[in-house]
Structure 1
Amino acid sequence: MSEAQAHTHRPLAGLRVIELSSFVAAPLGGMTLAQLGAEVIRVDPIGGGPDRDRWPRTAAGQSLYWSGLNKGKKSLTIDMKSEPGREIIRNLLRSGGRSSGILLTNAVGRSWLGYEQFRALREDAIIVRVEGNWKGQAAVDYTVNAAVGFPTVTGPDGFAIPINHVLPAWDVTCGIYSALAITTAVLNRQTTGRGAHIRIALEDVALATAGNLGLLSEAQINETSRPRIGNHLYGGFGRDFTTLDGHKLMIVALTERHWADLLDVTGQEHVVTALEKSLGIDFTREDDRYAYREVLAGLFQVWFESQSTQEIEAALRPTSLLWARYRSFDEVVDPASTDVWDNPMMSMLTQPGIPTHLAPGSPIRFDDVPRTAEPAPELGAHNREILTTLMGFGERELGELERKGVIGDTSR
């Protein structure tokens, strides 16, 4: 199957989305759709947006962040401060049938990007706008995370300062929500003929997650704040353990079977049984395992410290226990350290300006649909293709718009 055939075979083939975005949430939403076959046209200012050179970067200064979040898209560069540039975007949204007329953006406070303006162009326009909070104000993952409460329960017991997690969880989740919102709106439009104006706020995503996990109701109903417990599993038994040769493993025993296997593999069954009898408790219950987690962890740590990592992993593999060795990112991409290279989602990607590297396709698996990663576009690489094919511009018009600085380079 050729690359073109593979792309048309994907479930969202034929769908066109215009993306005006920067940073994480909206670009990730667009890439999610692109990896499922949609034609996603990312529109940037000439020279690139504010995330064009964001870290991490190669030694030559190429942003791995930007290329990672824009795989499989097309790139159009336009002076969006000019009226002719804005008119091109309006025409892009106006053109096409029921599989187009879709805008994904995190731009806020710009009247020319308002829903009513686009609805005047086409009644069935779909606009998905990523915002900071429900009032439409700006926010980023780090500020939302601070406001919702997660940094106060992150980190080891005894820490008095808030600790941010390094994963931009709300950006990532918001990006997936935005892709879901677009596919939902498209399905509804096919049924009803109606467009949609959809707003998704980072803070709402964080609040919804905190509420759905019971964190907010726990604080409200029990009138208590969740404690910091480091790497312990809240409400059950799970923790990191150090091996004889200094590696760390995360061990989780959620079920009675997990617990029985942990006792068996560590040889602590008799000791733990005696402890149960002396305390009058039952460690097959999650509540009791959590209440005495420090005592239990101390017993198991003796076994982990007496074994090499290789010996421990060999002992754990036949069990039902949930476990993993802590690895750094450089270990994750080391073929000798993990089986990441065998994962069919991963492939070697040739990205312009960046050395060939391992990159993921879509984590969503459809039968017989390839998931090979496609490179991110060079900035403005599709200017000529989009403006001639979709807009019908001729060479004279292209040259005039480029000379006036309305569009980026069209020579490619």
Structure 2
Amino acid sequence: MSSTPLAAPTPLLSGITIIDLSRVLAGPFATMTLANLGARVIKVEIPGTGDDSRAFGPFAEGKSLYFSAINCNKESIALNLKAEEDRAIFEKLLEKADVLVENYRPGTMEKLGYGWDTLHARFPHLIYGAASGFGDSGPYSKRAAYDMVVQGMGGIISLTGYPGGKPTRVGISIGDIAAGLYLSIGLNAALFNRTRTGIGAKIDVAMLDCQVAIMEDAVTACDKTGEVPGPHGTRHPSIAPFQAFKASDAYVVIAAGNDHLFNLAAQALEEPSLSTDPRFVTNDLRHQNVDALQDEMEKVLAKQPVAHWLDALNAKGVPCGPINDIPHMMKDPQVAARNMIVSVADPVAGEIKVAGNPIKVVGLAEPKTFAPPPQLDGNRAEILAEFVGVKTGEPA
């Protein structure tokens, strides 16, 4: 089939409208993912303050870069859901919307009169997405949570860092981001199901659940072996070599996931005896002797800089890479070729750069920029005109 870009771009979620009550990261990350696929996302924010993350630094010309990173391609209207007039507007939005997203603590929406049962009875087509720390059920359901809480409870901190070191948080908010990704998957599944049934569904995603779900083999291995997994630095818990190694100028990552790749790595290092050393001839033996393996490899790697070894390893087809800081990552030609750093013209902050959309649709021309993150209540007039029929200057 041809991969020529379509003459008339039609984003996959074009025509889908999402009303987004969520704030900070888990919910907004989900709606960002859907907005990047073409959905229309309308943020409903608290008057005066808006999304909590609008107050998170760093700032450019007074605008939060944290908020900006997660909220491009969205619109904003400020509504007080405890005020009768604003509730009427909100309900008009729901009449025409496909999806509602919120990340309040369970029970909050019920107190506002907008729980799932109430909304499903009134708007049976509406899909309801909820992200929270612990979900709608279980003994912790009503507890508050942030990313750091579920990183600790979910076990990922116990696997992060170096043996004997202090507890180390994963460098990004993986508790929120994993929940946002799972929520976006659930919402897409509900949208597909609605094409068959005409009926919406509630998607209940808990941050703690998502941390358990991404544990790779830690749960299964712990259960069957009785061994408690712990941190390994950059090493893989069962594959070797699969870590960062010191070259003459910096660290290089080498990931030889099988015996064949290890043989190729030994050739690239011009040290073929490594692959015949009885300590290293199988992955199991390499794992048992990983300290010795690291010592032997670093003796060789110390002779040349990272760039030399990347050329040699890539020439042999061995998975490898540098350890980039963020500026180097942003300048990587592969990242640029995939449009993964996007420049956005923000009317307040000026030009800002944000991460691009990693979901590439073959045959669909990809936009080279995003709509800037909205000002609080910045789309009020057009939203009221479209959903409520109120023109500028008229009372809602």
TM-score in terms of structure 1 length: 0.86
Amino acid of the structure 1 residue aligned with 2:104: A
Query: Within 2, Cα distance between the matches of 1:372 and 1:192?
Result: 36
Q: Deviations over 1:146-174 (max 9, x none)?
A: 01222122111222x32111221231121
Q: Which residue of 2 aligns with 1:324?
A: 321
Secondary structure of 2:183's aligned partner = helix
For residues 143 and 37 of structure 1, the distance between their equivalents in structure 2, rounded to whole angstroms, comes to: 33
Q: Residue 142 and residue 190 in structure 1: after superposition, are their counterparts in 2 closer, same or farther (change >3 A)?
A: same
CA distance in structure 1 between the aligned counterparts of 2:258 and 2:393, rounded to whole angstroms: 70
2:19 is paired with a residue whose SS is: strand
- 1:340-364 Cα deviation digits (max 9, x unpaired): 3333343322122223133333211
Q: How much has 1:13 moved relative to structure 2? A: 0.6
Contact 1:132/1:203 (<8 A) preserved? yes
CA shift at 1:131, angstroms? 1.2
Contact 2:256/2:265 (8 A) holds in 1: yes
2:56 to 34, 42, 54: 54
2:33 aligns to what? 32
* Counterparts in 2 of 1:49 and 1:227: CA distance versus 1, 3 Å: closer
Asked whether the equivalents of residues 98 and 126 of structure 2 are also in contact (C-alpha less than 8 Å), the reply is: yes
- What's the RMSD between the two structures over aligned residues? 2.1
- 1:67-146 equivalences under 5 Å are 67-94=68-95, 96=96, 100-108=97-105, 109-110=107-108, 111=110, 112=112, 113-134=114-135, 135=137, 136-137=141-142, 138-146=144-152
Query: Distance between the aligned counterparts of 2:393 and 2:248, measured in 1?
Result: 72
Distance 2:122 2:391 in 1: 23
Pick from 341, 364, 370 the counterpart of residue 346 of structure 1: 341
Report if aligned partners of 2:11, 2:38 keep a CA contact under 8 Å in 1: yes
- Find the residue that maps to 2:254 and give its secondary structure: strand
Does the CA-based 8 Å contact 1:253-1:321 persist in structure 2? yes
Using the alignment, how far apart are the partners of 1:308 and 1:52 within structure 2?
43
The question of whether the paired residues in 2 share the 8 Å contact of 1:42 and 1:73 is answered with yes
TM-score (norm 2): 0.89
Structure 2 residue aligned with 1:301, among 287, 298, 308? 298
| Maintained 8 Å contact 2:275/2:281 | no
State whether structure 2 residue 214 is matched by structure 1 residue 209. Answer: yes
Answer yes or no: is the 8 Å Cα contact 1:360–1:373 preserved in 2.
no
Alignment CA distance shift 1:218-1:271 (3 Å): closer
1:294-323 Cα deviation digits (max 9, x unpaired): 101101101111112332222222121111
Q: CA deviation digits over 1:323-342, x for unaligned, max 9?
A: 11111112223x4x654333
How do residues 130-279 of structure 1 correspond to structure 2 at under 5 angstroms?
A: 130-134=131-135, 135=137, 136-137=141-142, 138-159=144-165, 161-210=166-215, 213-237=216-240, 238-245=242-249, 247-273=250-276, 275-276=277-278
Partner of residue 405, structure 1: none
Q: CA deviation at 1:395?
A: 4.1
CA contact (8 A) 1:21 1:104 kept: yes
The corresponding residue for 1:20 is 21
- Structure 1 window deviating more from structure 2 (343-352 vs 125-134): it is 343-352
* Residues 17 and 102, structure 1, Cα contact 8 Å, conserved in 2: yes
* Distance (Å, rounded) in 1 between the aligned partners of 2:179 and 2:89: 28
Residues 257-310 of structure 1: per-residue CA shift (max 9 Å, x gap): 21011111222222552x30xxxx5x3422111111110110110111111233
Aligned to 2:3: none
Q: Name structure 2 gaps, 5 residues minimum.
A: 1-5
Q: Provide the rounded CA distance (Å) in 1 between the counterparts of 2:274 and 2:204.
A: 56
**What is the rounded CA distance, in whole Å, between the counterparts of 1:121 and 1:314 in structure 2?**
62
* Cα drift, residue 392 of structure 1: 0.6
Tell me the amino acid that sits aligned with residue 283 of structure 2.
E
CA change 1:219–1:35 in 2 (3 A) is same
Secondary structure of the residue aligned to 1:317 is: helix
What is the SS of the residue equivalent to 2:55? coil
Contact 1:125–1:196 (Cα < 8 Å) also in 2: yes
Q: Is the 8 A contact 1:268 1:299 kept in 2?
A: no
The one of 348, 351, 360 equivalent to 1:356 is 351
Paired residues of 2:269 and 2:312 also in contact (CA < 8 A): no
**For residue 41 of structure 1, what is the aligned residue in structure 2?**
42
In 1, distance between residues paired with 2:314 and 2:133? 44
SS in 1 for 2:54: coil
| Maintained 8 Å contact 1:71/1:373 | no
Q: Using the alignment, how far apart are the partners of 2:349 and 2:93 within structure 1? A: 30
Q: State whether structure 2 residue 381 is matched by structure 1 residue 373.
A: no
Report the equivalent of 1:404. Answer: none
Give structure 1 stretches of 5+ with no counterpart: 402-412
The Cα of 1:78 is off from its aligned counterpart by: 1.5
